[in-house]
Every structure is written in C-alpha cells, then in structure tokens.
Amino acid sequence: MQEQLKKYAVVSAAASLFGVLAGAGLLFLVMVYYQPWFFNLEPSLPVQPAVNEKEIEKSPEPVYEFEEDRVVSAVEKVQPAVVSIMVTKDLPKYERYYQLDPFFEDFFSDPFFQGLVPGGRRSNEPIEMENRHIGGGSGFFVTEDGLIVTNKHVVLDEEAEYTVVTYAGDKYQARVLVRDPIFDLAYLKVEGQGFSYLEFADSDQIKLGQTVLAVGNALDEFRNTVTMGIVSGLNRRLTAGSSNGSAEVIESAIQTDAAINPGNSGGPLVDLNGRVIGVNTAVSLQGQLIGFALPSNLVKRGVEQVRDNGKIVRPYLGVRYQLVTKDMIQKNNLKVDYGALILRGLDINELAVMPGSPADKAGLRENDIILEINGRKIDEEHSLAGLIAGFVPGDEVELKIYRAGEELSVKAVLEELK
C-alpha cells in the first residue's frame, strides 16, 4: 500500500512538473507572439540589408517622361512657326461648254438620253487672264522678321505668285529672296515682325531610332498636319524627280518613316524639343513611309548667308561622279573600296569634268577616283558634295586620287558656283 502511494506521488509530481513546464513554454510563446502587448513595444519589421549611399548616388533610378507629353509640347511649340505656301499664277481664261459625246451620238438616237462631256476654248480676243491656284507646299519661319525656309521645287516658277498662310490663318504675300543653286532649298520673305520661329538642332548629332515629327500642308489641303516617326537612315544619297520631269541629286539626306505627303515639301522635321533637324524634301513612291529631309546644318548655313549677304554662295569643284560600290569594285577589279568615281552623265553633253572648272584646272580626268579631301575619306557617310559644301569659294583643297593603279595628290582652288 505504501509503495503504491509512493508510485502515485512520483507520477503526480512528474505530471505536475510536466504541466508547469508546458505552461511556462506556452506562456513564453504567447509573450513572443504578442510582445508589443506585454512590453509596450512597436511591432518589429523585417530587417533590410544595409545599402551603401554612394552606390545609390552612382545608380539612381531612371526618371521617365511620358513621350505623349513631349510630343504634345513639341507640336505646340512648332505649329505657330509652320506656314502653308499657296502657289497661284495668271493663266488664260477658258470658256466652259458641253458637247455631245460621239459615242452616245452614234449608238443612242433618243434625244432625252445624250452624253454631254465638258469641253473648253479660249475666250474671244483679247484673251482674259485669271489667277489660278496651281500648287502648294510648306515652309517655316526662321527669324521673327519673316524669313521663311522652304524647298526650291515649291517656288521654282518665277512667274507665279506665292501666298503664305500662317497657323492662325493670316495671309501674307511672299517674295522669293534666293533659290539655292545646288540644294533643293529656297528662302522667302514676308513683311512683318514678331513671327514665331524655329531654332535648328545639330543634325550631326542625330541618332538612328530617335523620335521625330513632320509638320506641313499635307496634300496641299490639310494645313499643319503632324505625323510622327523615327530617324530610319542617315547620309542617304538619292536622285529625286519632280512632276515637271526635272531630277536632282540629294546628298546627306535624313531618312524617316514619318509620313510625308505631297504638300509637305519644305516643312520642318523636328525633334521632341521642337528644334529643326531637317527640311522635308522627297518621298519614295516605290516603298512605304520612306521620306527624306535635308539636314539642318546645311539649311542653317544657307539661312546665315541669306541673312548676312542676301544670297547663297556655294563652292564647286566641277565633276560628275558616282560613289564607289561593291558591284563596281567586283566588276572592274578596283584596288580601292571607297571614293567618288568621276564619270560622264547619261546625256552626251554631260561631261565628266566641266571645262574651265576647278577640277579641270587641277588636271582631274574621267575615271579618276577621288579618295579624300583634305584627309577626309569619301564614302557613303561623307559624300563628295557634302564635304565640298563645308568650304567657301577661294579655299584650296588637297585631293587624294586613284588613277590607273596609282595614288596621286593634287590641289584645287574651289570657285563660286554661278
């Protein structure tokens, strides 16, 4: 009996001890879980690893602006300076009348079913003239006193009249100050002060893929139309043809996929800061969204000359040429892979070297390849015409040429293109 009581006492003590320990453990867990209630402490947060402040300064989080906001801001800045150019001309007045189409006369005898087609004849002498709208284009102010840049082909007709229509709808008679003798550029002037005008960006700093906007009088109907795209090519060389059958070689052009339509000619191509990077000039009819603009640095030099001298002074060398291509190298087994090959034009009268020109005086010949001008290579990115445009009449340049398997050096004095 006593031993049973001892066993019972031991078991009870063990159970009591276990209960105490279990209770203490439970109390500890509760205190840990609810420590803010027990100790009046703030809840603990996960500990973050230490950050080096210098490292933060070196790698700041990029700050992005909404491109849409930049586009809207650029458009608001550019629009007041862009103009539409209306081309009108006095032409003989025609009297309109209708005549019976012979087809209907032969096959339909019913007098109530006759085919009338429009015809025209000049009014009785003396011939009356009427002022007609014959075309249009775009342009933009580059000074606050009314100097405007456009394309030469927009204002090519010396007998036509040119009216400038501003963004606000105001109309001004414009006179053509200068038509560039080489590039497809012209400069107009309207009377007035305080015009909004655009500034030029450095076209040498343009990057492929950057966003651009084209603004102009699309289709000679939709004034101040805005299209957006990117710079899709640089330093393009192309031959642009016009509706009158003339053709012109365009050097160092900027290619863009911003939609450029008839009527956009002469309008600005701008960056998202609203600065001009080019003048919209041509579009490919074979492809889609392939347009070209003359670079702003070329245009800016013209503006400065017109403003300071009242004319454009361009130097010239006096050769016709074709850039050396891979096909040319392979087919002719050339030993050089760059340069400008001097060659005659398609017409028998288009000589390779113009008689009496600086090139003629320097002894250049047909089939010579001009490799360098003052140490600068001539290639797809640096055309001969583009490099020559960087000089002024009277400058002496050193030409490195390739002739009959040998490299030669000759000097030429550039002259003013008349």
Residues forming the active site: 153, 184, 265
Contact 67, 210 (CB under 8 A): no
> Strand locations in 93-205, DSSP E?
94-100, 116-122, 129-141, 147-150, 161-165, 171-179, 186-189
Q: Return all residues near 219 (Cβ < 8 A) that are at least 6 apart.
A: 261, 262, 263
Q: If you search the block for the tokens 């709208």, which residue do you land on? A: 133
Helix (H, G, I), strand (E, B) or coil at 225: strand
CA separation (Å) from 332 to 4, 129, 161? 122, 58, 51
* Cβ count within 10 A of residue 235: 16
CA 266 to chain centre: 11
DSSP 364-415: --TT-EEEEETTEEPBTTB-HHHHHTTS-TT-EEEEEEEETTEEEEEEEE-E
Q: How many CA atoms lie within 13 A of 283 on its CB side?
A: 18
**Which among 178, 136, 147, 129 is positioned nearest to 81, based on CA atoms?**
147
What is the DSSP secondary structure assignment for residue 190, as one 8-state letter?
Answer: -
DSSP 106-135: HH---TTS--EEEEEEEPSSSPPEEEEEEE
Pairwise CA distance, residues 356 & 369, whole Å = 20
What is the DSSP secondary structure assignment for residue 43, as one 8-state letter?
Answer: P
φ, ψ for residue 28, nearest 5 deg: -65, -45
